[in-house]
Structure 1
Amino acid sequence: MDYTRQTRFSDPRRHAALFDPLPADPDGIGAVVRNLAVHYRASGIDFPPDRLTEIDSRWVDRMLDADRSRHSTPLAEPRPPSERIVGCCRDFTLLTVAALRHKGIPARSRVGFGDYFDPTFHIDHVITEYWDGARWIATDSQMDLPDVRLSEGGLRPAAQVWAAYRRGEIDVDTFGVGPDLPAELRGAAFVRNYVIYELAHRRGDELLLWDVWGDVSLTLGDNLGLIDEIADLLQSADAGDRSAERKLADLYASEPRLHPGRHITCATPNRPPSEADLHRPT
């Protein structure tokens, strides 16, 4: 997959020129993204319902629509936190990925669980990974962490967490959105879904972390062999196995339980689930 090319989700479309003045380096782009976006929960800001709908923008051009509705200045010009794009880690990451791709830098999103938020709990998280010409480097533009390990102590990709759970090495109930939230927002079924999210993001479907399709489910189910296979292939691909990367591409394209169709369910936090149409006019 060519990670310099925009996907249907990362494409800024009519706003592409806004990326032209940005610095052509990940740290500089990350600083601009932190000026553009604010986390809907972690910020501590009590956003009104109409602003909270921005967390479902899904596409980068619609995120930038929200910014343009309040600002006419360049993206690097300061925005008060209350006037930034309301989103989550996935949105910080996708904006970063979009800007890097615009600059010709291969970039993709990585889905997993961060070890650097809570000493006793591993919080679901999405960060950026870019190719520097020699290796992939992970960076967290939301938290201003320029070099994050994709392993224990950094961001543990969902595939790693699933494999460790299947080997009986971790307490899987310490992986999720937060320790004080409902049980369905942590544990084995939650990690299972994140393996599917990790694959989807790797294949250019950078969906929301509350989008539901195919095999994404609140229950663990009995189709664990497929999740085991995906997790093994993802880890092998990370280790440089090109045949594993090809197998992932073929599996994702051929297995309807893994890739989204035209319609999915958006299970937005704090609102009833609704149907979303992923097909947009060109």
Structure 2
Amino acid sequence: MADRDHRRQTAYSDPRAYAQLVSALPATVPELGAVVRNVLVHYRGGLDFPPDRLEEIESRWVDRMIGHDQRRFPGVPLARERAPEERVVGCCRDFTLLTVATLRLHGVPARSRVGFADYLQPEFHVDHVITEWWDGSRWIAADTEFDPAAGLPVDPLDVPLADGGLVPASRVWQAFRRGELDPSTYGVGPGVPIGGGWFIRDYVLHEAAHRYGDELLLWDRFGAMSHDLDGDLGLIDEVAALLVAADAGDEAAERRLAGWYATDDRLHPGPAIVSESPRGSVTKVDLAARA
């Protein structure tokens, strides 16, 4: 188990006024995933949305996601069928966060994992976020964005956190530093000029943030992040090493990283962050005021 109680909601996963609506969702991942896919649609899923609908990808907090849904379907249970074009526009992180929020409401420890998926694009490693939940004896990773019948090369209900599945950003960074991979094959997607070494570095910080309850959007920027492979790379080496050790069950590494994360402004978001949205906007977000 991790240092923090993953049954406890965070500021981002807390459904707030919609807790009763969300608690009505299934507590088992296969059934829950089907409902999550009924509520959300990926902004790059092939549908064209007007600007006001694309703004939904900035929801950031679960209660805001559900609020968008309930403005279109007031009082309607989340399991009731929605047409794809009527679903809340989001991204992989949003599918994950709604899954995590629901599991936590049911008392199931759950958290989000940030890394690079080997199963979405041939010969490319796509930035991605999936759910990890505790079954009483081990953590199981699940990608609820995808139907298990979709024919992925992995079982989305039991995704390996290893080559071929989702490789955590910390392990990708270590391989990059050893010269074992081509960083140009890691990023948003083939042909999209957002990726490479600096991108992998920033995702190590996102991985730590999600682990300790700051489940930000992947285009949110904070701390030691930058668009260049600059700054103290030894810092990232240390964070990545502690993340890998913590994943392997090293409780001392988990405690050390949790304490370091909480006290070092280079590792965690402050009261405000900069959001560089795929909609093309760059905005300052006041996290405390949720504005």
TM-score normalised by the chain length of structure 2: 0.94
Tell me what 2:279 maps to.
270
Tell me what 2:289 maps to.
280
> What is the rounded CA distance, in whole Å, between the counterparts of 1:12 and 1:216 in structure 2?
29
Across the aligned residues of Structure 1 and Structure 2, the Cα RMSD in angstroms comes to 0.9
> What is the rounded CA distance, in whole Å, between the counterparts of 2:99 and 2:157 in structure 1?
12
| Local SS of the residue matching 1:146 | coil
Deviation at 1:119, TM superposition (A): 1.6
Counterpart mapping for 1:52-63 below 5 A: 52-63=54-65
Identity of aligned residues (%): 59
Deviation at 1:142, TM superposition (A): 0.2
Deviation at 1:278, TM superposition (A): 0.3
Equivalent of residue 129 in structure 1, options 129, 132, 141: 132
Deviation at 1:12, TM superposition (A): 0.1
Counterpart mapping for 1:6-155 below 5 A: 6-41=9-44, 43-72=45-74, 73-144=76-147, 145-155=156-166
> What is the rounded CA distance, in whole Å, between the counterparts of 1:50 and 1:24 in structure 2?
32
> What is the rounded CA distance, in whole Å, between the counterparts of 1:273 and 1:24 in structure 2?
37
| Local SS of the residue matching 2:158 | strand
2:256 is matched by which residue type in structure 1? K
Counterpart mapping for 1:117-266 below 5 A: 117-144=120-147, 145-182=156-193, 185-266=194-275
| TM superposition outliers: structure 1 runs of 4+ over 6 Å | none
Deviation at 1:181, TM superposition (A): 1.1
| Local SS of the residue matching 1:110 | strand
TM-score normalised by the chain length of structure 1: 0.97
Deviation at 1:31, TM superposition (A): 1.0
- Answer whether contact 2:126 2:186 (CA < 8 A) is retained: yes
Deviation at 1:207, TM superposition (A): 0.2
Deviation at 1:188, TM superposition (A): 0.4
Alignment: residue pair count? 278
